[in-house]
């Protein structure tokens, strides 16, 4: 009885190993140059510009508040600055999340269209993908028009 359980276990392990080995050579990998997407994709550029504008407005609002109240106590001035920094950090985080969602959605669509299993970011300075990959940078930029 124990021998039969071992045989069944070995057969199952051999089958699983065969299935894994057969799929290893069929992985399709794509790559993007993230910096190009950030610089060239219109949706990305407009979102970055909008975020920068909102952050600058928050900074100017805090500076104006400090200038309009020259006899503000040191403690109140520090509170105003801290509040402005929190607001700017919150705006930055919000726009970063929106940006990530847009790029991620575009990447998912391109990966489906091109039947890619993996897409990596491959910068020129420190490339992740060296060979055997499909460059989908232009496709992502086109998707974010």
Q: Could you tell me the CATH number of the domain that includes residue 106?
A: 3.30.910.20
- Measured between alpha carbons, how far is 45 from 28 in angstroms, rounded to an integer? 29
More confident residue, 12 or 51: 51
Reply yes or no on whether the pLDDT at 71 is more than 80: yes
Number of domains composing the chain? 1
Q: pLDDT band for position 124 (50/70/90)?
A: low
Instruction: Name the pLDDT band for 2 (thresholds 50, 70, 90).
Output: very low
Encode pLDDT of 30-40 as tens digits.
Answer: 888 888 888 89
Mean pLDDT of the chain: 79
pLDDT digits (tens, 9 = 90+) for 75-119: 888 888 899 999 999 999 999 999 989 988 998 899 899 888 888
pTM: 0.67
Cross-strand pairs, 30: 119, 134
Q: Containing domain of residue 60, as a range?
A: 2-143
pLDDT band at 52 (very low <50, low <70, confident <90, very high): very high
d(CA 46, CA 12): 54
- What local confidence, expressed as pLDDT, does residue 128 receive? 64
17 burial type by CB count under 10 A (0-12 exposed, 13-18 middle, 19+ buried): exposed
């Amino acid at each position: 009885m124990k021998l039969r359980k071992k045989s069944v276990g070995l057969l199952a392990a051999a089958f699983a190993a065969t299935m894994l080995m057969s799929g290893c050579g069929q992985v399709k990998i794509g790559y993007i140059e993230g910096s190009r997407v950030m610089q060239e994709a219109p949706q990305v550029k407009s979102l970055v510009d909008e975020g920068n504008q909102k952050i600058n407005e928050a900074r100017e609002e805090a500076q104006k508040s400090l200038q309009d109240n020259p006899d503000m106590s040191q403690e109140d001035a520090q509170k105003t600055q801290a509040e402005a920094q929190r607001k700017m950090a919150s705006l930055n985080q919000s726009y970063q999340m929106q940006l990530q969602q847009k790029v991620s959605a575009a990447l998912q669509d391109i990966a489906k269209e091109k039947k890619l299993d993996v897409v990596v970011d491959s910068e020129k300075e420190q490339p992740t993908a060296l060979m055997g990959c499909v460059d989908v940078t232009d496709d992502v930029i086109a998707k974010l028009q």
